[in-house]
């Protein structure tokens, strides 16, 4: 059996069905939230866009790590409280506006408490919204991706090479 590793996703080839391992992401809010604003990839990366998704929630609601990793930032960035987690394979997820219960350098498990949601996310139609982002690579050269496509419940579809 052959394993293809795609970032956080491992696809096992040669079995009757392909499947992802446990490293796929989880929802950072529970119960499963409504998406109030979807992902709008900027093109090129430095231009306008919505580099994540907004999830409806309540003020002071717990926010959880979507996957295992290391907290690389927990503080205020551009006037907003942000937490960023680096996951194995080069993926980073970000959570804002969140009052941190973690610190930079701390290891976190999938589902571990990162902090609590604050109000004040611009354009949020709910009591509070979590802006949840995902990117491959370092911030200066990041490739932003839709975090919803990295969730464990999203089916993996393999396409043939070369059309």
What is the per-residue pLDDT across 33-63, written as a single tens digit (0 to 9) for each?
999 988 877 666 665 556 789 999 999 999 9
The per-residue pLDDT for 143 is: 86
For the chain, the average pLDDT equals 81
Give the least confident one: 5-9, 20-24, 26-30, 49-53: 5-9
Q: Is 12 exposed, middle or buried (0-12, 13-18, 19+ CB in 10 A)?
A: middle
Mean pLDDT of 80-93: 95
The per-residue pLDDT for 40 is: 77
CATH number assigned to the domain covering 26-150: 2.70.70.10
pTM: 0.78
The per-residue pLDDT for 120 is: 79
Question: Is residue 93's pLDDT more than 50?
Answer: yes
> Are the C-beta atoms of residues 41 and 144 closer than 8 Å to each other?
yes
The per-residue pLDDT for 122 is: 76
Select the more confidently predicted residue: 136 or 62: 62
Mean pLDDT of 128-156: 83
What whole-number distance in Å separates Cα of residue 82 and Cα of residue 72?
11
């Amino acid at each position: 059996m052959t394993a293809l590793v795609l970032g956080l996703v491992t696809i096992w080839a040669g079995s009757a069905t392909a499947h992802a391992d446990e490293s796929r992401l989880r929802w950072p809010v529970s119960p499963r939230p409504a998406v109030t604003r979807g992902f709008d990839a900027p093109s090129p990366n430095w231009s306008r866009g919505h580099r994540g998704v907004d999830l409806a929630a309540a003020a002071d609601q717990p926010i959880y790590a979507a996957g295992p990793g290391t907290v690389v930032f927990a503080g205020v960035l551009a006037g907003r409280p942000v937490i960023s987690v680096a996951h194995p394979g080069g993926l980073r997820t970000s959570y804002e506006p969140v009052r941190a219960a973690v610190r930079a350098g701390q290891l976190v498990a999938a589902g571990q408490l990162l902090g609590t949601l604050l109000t004040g996310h611009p354009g949020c139609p709910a009591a509070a919204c979590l802006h949840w982002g995902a990117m491959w690579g370092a911030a200066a050269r990041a490739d932003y991706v839709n975090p919803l496509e990295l969730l464990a419940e999203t089916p993996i579809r393999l396409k043939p090479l070369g059309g």
